[in-house]
Amino acid sequence: MTVTATENNGAGDAVEQLVEGPPAEDAPPFSLELSQDQKDIRDWVHGFAENVVRPAAAEWDEREETPWPIIQEAAKIGLYGFEGIAQFFADPSGLQLPIVNEELFWGDAGIGMSIMGTTLAVAAIFGQGTPEQMGEWIPQCFGTPDDPKVAAFCSSEPNAGSDVSAIRTTAKYDEAKDEWVINGQKAWATNGGIANVHVVIASVDRELGARGHAAFIIPPGTKGCEQGAKVKKHGLRASHTADVHLDDCRVPGSCLLGGKEKLDERLARAREGKRTGGQAAMQTFEASRPVVGAQAVGIARAAYEYALEYAKERVQFGRPIIENQAIAFTLANMKMEIDAARLLVWRASWMGRNGVPFENAEGSMSKLKAGEVAVWVTERAMQILGGNGYTREFPVERMHRDAKIYDIFEGTAEIQRLVISRAISGMHIR
């Protein structure tokens, strides 16, 4: 099976698919019954995860490098690319994207992140760009099946992690040349420095804090945009993470996502103390949280399934260890927690796709729950495997290392609780 968005596969058609979303009042009812199309795509991604991703997982984890050959295989079948992502996103139930992510990350999270990391930059372009900007830049994020590329979303900085308002990277407008000049240092960027397209969050007015932020495209090969130190990580090691240095990096005026007119209006409103309708980095994170939650569910499910089979086969005291309630009840809890996390992810995905407001921070809830479930389930899976669980000969050790990041990136567990508690109380909880 190969995913194609439309018969002629033009970028314009894919943009239309991305842009067109039913308004909240026309939202299809929330349903757990998957359509045949959704099941077919799930099974197709599962096949790729099982036959291509899993067998390569240990090798790329050890190499700590981007698995380009596997990205290319994903591109060749249409799993990695603009048309594929547009088609998954276009599903009106909102469930296709989390289903695809769960299956892929069930295969392996490091490789999964190398394939899906680009979508964070794409989400920023989609969320804040004009249709013309989407048509121009999103295809360049992915490249082509013969020459696949990746993209990076650069918000975090050495002194601005959870506190996005502390971003120091600046963008100054050079009116004479209609160019933006960007200076600063980004930290922790997935695909940072190896990306074809970087999306950078920069401050255009420091006094306004996060309300003075804007998102910029750094086109391929732009002078002044360089990779800094590559990060050696605990998990997700097949995914490249690095600092990005921006030194007098000049980009055309058209690289400001959403355009100058819209930015000027937003800044004027902010200066008058009026509502501005969301901050550049936050808008991206809000849209991506349920999908990130789905990735965590995939890791948790992989570890649970491995531990279940192991517990049925491993014999101690003359019987399979699963015949002990201590083991069987743990597995029952693991399954229950995974299903609960998936339900929260699907609910938030349906809401996000259909413009239903996240009144109780349902996007954050889904990511928080799924991240904590993934950490807990993978840790329990190691326990069920005993000594084997602690070795690199068995995959749950890698799954546990990979799972931990889901408590940290795209908003730490503490920050998600802050967002949820503020949403449910209406109070400024600190």
Ligand X SMILES: Cc1cc2nc3c(=O)[nH]c(=O)nc-3n(C[C@H](O)[C@H](O)[C@H](O)COP(=O)(O)OP(=O)(O)OC[C@H]3O[C@@H](n4cnc5c(N)ncnc54)[C@H](O)[C@@H]3O)c2cc1C
Applying CB under 6 A, which residues contact ligand X? 120, 153-156, 161-162, 188-190, 233, 236, 241, 405, 408-410, 412, 414-415, 418
Whether 373 and 297 have beta carbons less than 8 Å apart is answered as yes
Q: How many CA atoms lie within 13 A of 244 on its CB side?
A: 34
Q: What is the Cα–Cα distance from 61 to 72, expressed in whole angstroms?
A: 18
3-state secondary structure 45-100: HHHHHHHHHHHHHHHHHHHCCCCHHHHHHHHHCCCCCHHHHHHHHHCCCCCHHHHH
* Rounded least distance, CB 54 to ligand X, Å: 21
* Rounded least distance, CB 120 to ligand X, Å: 6
Strands 319-320 and 213-218: unpaired
Specify the residue, 88 or 188, whose C-beta has the smaller distance to ligand X: 188
- Would residue 55 be called left, alpha or beta, if left means φ above 0 and alpha means ψ between -120 and 50 degrees? alpha
Specify the residue, 41 or 375, whose C-beta has the smaller distance to ligand X: 375
* Rounded least distance, CB 156 to ligand X, Å: 3
Whether 157 and 213 have beta carbons less than 8 Å apart is answered as no
**CB neighbourhood size of 37 (10 A):** 11
Cα–Cα nearest to 410, from 257, 283, 231: 283
Task: Enumerate residues 6+ apart whose C-beta is below 8 A from 271.
Answer: 208
Specify the residue, 190 or 378, whose C-beta has the smaller distance to ligand X: 190
Show the tokens assigned to 175: 């009116």
Specify the residue, 276 or 412, whose C-beta has the smaller distance to ligand X: 412
Specify the residue, 49 or 415, whose C-beta has the smaller distance to ligand X: 415
**Nearest-CB residue for ligand X:** 161
Q: Is 337 a catalytic residue?
A: no
136, 286, 372, 410: which is the annotated catalytic residue? 410
Catalytic residues: 410
